[in-house]
Amino acid sequence: MSENRDFGFCPRCGALMKDGVCQSCGYVIRQPSAQPNVQRDSGAQNGYYGQPYMQGTPYVQVTERKKGKKGLIIALSVIGMVLLLLIFIVALVFWSGMIEQAGTDSSYNESYDDYYDDSNDDYYDNYEDYYDDYGGYDSGYYVPNESDPYYREIVDATRTDLEYGVSWIVESVTPDDSEDTCTYYSTYPVLTGDGADYSAINSRITEMALQYRESYTDYPGGATTLGYVTYMDETQISIVFQHSIYEDNGTLPRISSLTFDLETGTEIQPEQMTEINEELVMRFRSQNTTQNGSVSFVDNASDEELLALLQNREESVYFYTPVGLEVGFNYKSDDYSSGWVSVTLKDQAL
């Protein structure tokens, strides 16, 4: 013969209850005449079906808690608070002793000094390993220096110690349809400063920066142009634009550049920076192998083809950097991947 007993914990004293009666204080739980009726919306709004919640408000899930466990929860909460208090007291005593020992025991301080004198030698040795071949900290962001063997990547080299400065302009076009990936984005610098008129220079910069603004919808993914100040001093400034054209079969990268004489306000042309001849082609090939390794288009192009590209105002790029004069061009080929390539001429640094 089996008995069905209802055991629980008293909500008043936490003692064991049997059949709704506390075995310690005699408290009796009165059973309700009916179960509570909880109504829920059968619809779904910004949440799981059957559990609606309003946008911007926290979602609260309705759960039913049995009354018979209330005393146990209270008892466990009290025990937990006592244990936390004991742990806090023990930790406080321990750390107080450590602080007192550190202030009075000289052997502790000597051990601390020994750690810095001996053990940390390895730390500092490893720290030195983070310095790259160019003598600067390798933080992952390239900072060009005149001692570099070549220009590693296009980055800003802005200065704040000159009589003029640069401000950055951002222009973008984003469709209202979130599924439309044809977008346009451009960021570029303009010159600022008192006592000089940079309007003509800034107009030319804007023209180059926004050259794909009117035609970006011709490409399925649109276009992006990022401008960089690769060199600036009291008399000259070079600005480079990296363009990304998003076509169906991939991204077409292109590059363009501008260099200005700030004393005259005129644009410096490529032939004013270096002689564009067969000797430049030979230097380009040699430096490309050192700087870029193997570039299929360059390796397979004839000297005449390379010279034509270096002379082409629409495809060639010439700009100054802290390392030297960077010379390059854009190329498109059915046999090789399209893109751009450049090399550094260190002996022609400003």
The reported pLDDT for the residue numbered 238 is 98
Q: pLDDT tens for residues 286-322?
A: 999 999 999 999 999 999 999 999 999 999 999 999 9
Q: Helix crossing, 303-311 with 278-292: angle to 10°?
A: 100
In the predicted structure, residue 282 carries a pLDDT above the cut 70 = yes
Q: What is the largest CA-CA distance in the chain?
A: 111
- In which band, very low, low, confident or very high, does the pLDDT at 29 lie, cut at 50, 70 and 90? low
In the predicted structure, residue 32 carries a pLDDT above the cut 70 = no
The reported pLDDT for the residue numbered 89 is 80
Q: How far apart are CA 164 and CA 18, in angstroms?
A: 88
Q: Helix crossing, 70-104 with 106-114: angle to 10°?
A: 90
Between 41 and 73, whose confidence is greater?
Answer: 73
Beta-carbon contacts of 23 under 8 Å, excluding residues fewer than 6 positions away, are 15, 16, 17
pLDDT > 90: percent of the chain: 55
Q: pLDDT tens for residues 242-260?
A: 999 999 989 999 999 999 9
CB 24 within 8 A of CB 10: yes
In the predicted structure, residue 157 carries a pLDDT above the cut 80 = yes
Between 11 and 138, whose confidence is greater?
Answer: 11
Lateral strand order in the sheet of 339-345:
316-320, 325-331, 339-345
CB 330 within 8 A of CB 255: yes
Which CATH number does the domain 165-348 belong to among 3.20.20.80, 3.30.565.40, 3.40.1380.20, 1.10.10.10?
Answer: 3.30.565.40
Q: pLDDT tens for residues 161-187?
A: 999 999 999 999 999 998 899 999 999
Q: Which residue has the tokens 């083809």?
A: 305
Q: pTM for the full model?
A: 0.61
- In which band, very low, low, confident or very high, does the pLDDT at 12 lie, cut at 50, 70 and 90? low
Q: pLDDT tens for residues 100-129?
A: 444 433 333 333 344 444 444 443 344 344
The reported pLDDT for the residue numbered 149 is 96
State phi, psi for 248 to the nearest 5 degrees: -60, -40
One-letter identity of residue 308: A
- In which band, very low, low, confident or very high, does the pLDDT at 194 lie, cut at 50, 70 and 90? confident
Mean predicted lDDT score pLDDT of the chain: 77
In the predicted structure, residue 82 carries a pLDDT above the cut 50 = yes
Three-class HEC string of 29-70: CCCCCCCCCCCCCCCCCCCCCCCCCCCCCCCCCCCCCCHHHH
In the predicted structure, residue 271 carries a pLDDT above the cut 70 = yes
Q: pLDDT tens for residues 323-350?
A: 999 999 999 988 888 999 999 999 875 5
Token representation of residue 137: 């900290």
Nearest by Cα to 171 from 127, 204, 214, 114: 214
The reported pLDDT for the residue numbered 92 is 72
* CA 91 to chain CA centroid, nearest Å: 40
Between 250 and 17, whose confidence is greater?
Answer: 250
Strand 222-232 with 183-192, pairing: parallel
Q: How far apart are CA 279 and CA 299, in angstroms?
A: 17
CB 236 within 8 A of CB 220: no
| 38-62 mean pLDDT | 30
The reported pLDDT for the residue numbered 236 is 97
Q: How big is the CA angle at 80 (ends 77 and 81), to the nearest 5 degrees? A: 90
Give the H/E segment covering residue 17: strand 16-18
In the predicted structure, residue 28 carries a pLDDT above the cut 70 = no
Give the H/E segment covering residue 95: helix 70-104
CB 168 within 8 A of CB 188: yes
